[in-house]
Amino acid sequence: MAGPLEGLKVLELLRVPPGAFCTMMLADMGAEVVKIETPAAATPEQTAQAERRAAFEFVNRNKRSIAINLKQPDGQKLLHQLAANADVLVEGFRPGVMARLGGDYETLKRVNPRLIYCSLSGYGQDGPHRDQPAHDINFLSIAGVLNLIGERDRPPAIPLNLIADYAGASLHGVVGILLALLARQHTGRGQLVDVSYLDTSLALLAATPMMQDFLLNGADSRRGTGLVGGSYPHYTTYETADDKALAVGCTDAEQWDAFCKVIGLGGSAETGPDGACPDRAADGTTQAAKAVVQAVLRRKTRDEWFAIFRDQQVSAAPLHAVDEAFDDPQVLARRMAVNVVHPRHGSVRQAGIAIKLSDTPGSIRGAGPALGEHTDEVLRVLGYDETKRGELRQAGTVA
């Protein structure tokens, strides 16, 4: 069955996985994604290792790879030829780099006025920080996100690079591209989609209850405070008898009362969630309640407690290690842990497709390609015969 984006041609010029996650989502839904990569000199052993890594690279599945040296005029000519027939181009360089490579939006829109050109950059295409190098932790710092994550009297907890990189720029990039494609149906024109890792981090933070209280009432938020900050007994983690842990998330009074009843304690409005005060700090009463709950949950193992909470419809879940997550029955039932067959490296385990479409579902058609694996295939489509392809290789324009 065809995916919803079948026939959509996408060019990817990215060097980091977060941007490639954006194009992977398009590829999973049927888009034809061609990775334009930089040729690299390597020994046979290095090439073999790189190929194996590529095969297991989750964000590169369902894609083809062509290796082009964009610093050469002939390489830039190839990029223009590819862009002339593309629907979407996604690039993740700092502002100004694509212009030096002859592939900025202003240049390529003259080649193809219908092209959707998505730029994923740290700070966006304008502003005083636009040329500053940075990573996820830096964007979260400026956006005020990092200062709100973790315990009250400890340094901030660093949330991997999930927020700015993946939930932020990658997913907003997908949405921006799809919006631009919808707009093109009405206007017949492409456009620039300017997505900033910083912008998207701030937008995600603004959706939280804590920030809503700040924007509405000017409340001064602090790390470890608020009803979902981890300092309250109803929304935190607890150790169990087997030195594992449970995550409890009872964000309304009814759920908290049910939780307390299951573990044999009397629920109390003083220690439970209070929607009227989303940013108040935990006081001595709530801290004492947390200690009492911890003592009770130490009496059984994590999985024993989870079985009880699941049967009683209480919001609690096991704190999984990564290997446990991939073996969870719900994850398996939803096909979120899958095996992709690679012709040389066998079974490659990956996360599945999170968006389930009933009529035009996405699909995983292949593992990540090796560098330049499809160079000949792509050049043939552009009209380059074997002789011309050989000349380009000899000149170092392609690999």
Q: Provide the annotated active-site residues.
A: 135, 165
Is residue 3 within 8 Å of 362, Cβ to Cβ? yes
Number of Cβ within a 10 Å radius of residue 132: 12
Give Cα 23 distance to the centre of its chain. Answer: 11
C-alpha to C-alpha distance for 154 and 236, rounded to whole angstroms: 16
Give CA separation, 35 vs 9, 40, 183, 211, in Å. Answer: 11, 15, 25, 38
Is residue 143 within 8 Å of 201, Cβ to Cβ? yes
Q: How many CA atoms lie within 13 A of 280 on its CB side?
A: 13
SS3 57: coil
Consecutive H or E run containing 247: strand 245-249
C-alpha triplet 118, 351, 195: angle, nearest 5°: 15
Q: What are phi and psi of 352, to 5 degrees?
A: -85, -160
The residues that bridge with 317 in the sheet, in sequence order, are 247
Q: Pick from 103, 92, 96: which is nearest to 21 by CA?
A: 92
Give Cα 135 distance to the centre of its chain. Answer: 14
Q: Which two tokens mark 98?
A: 């694509």
Is residue 376 within 8 Å of 389, Cβ to Cβ? yes
Inter-residue long-range contacts of 285-288, CB under 8 Å, 24+ positions, other chains counted? 286/231, 286/232, 286/233, 287/231
The residues that bridge with 249 in the sheet, in sequence order, are 235
Is residue 181 within 8 Å of 191, Cβ to Cβ? no
Q: What are phi and psi of 61, to 5 degrees?
A: -65, 160
C-alpha triplet 399, 9, 55: angle, nearest 5°: 50
Q: Which two tokens mark 10?
A: 């996408």
Is residue 371 within 8 Å of 67, Cβ to Cβ? yes
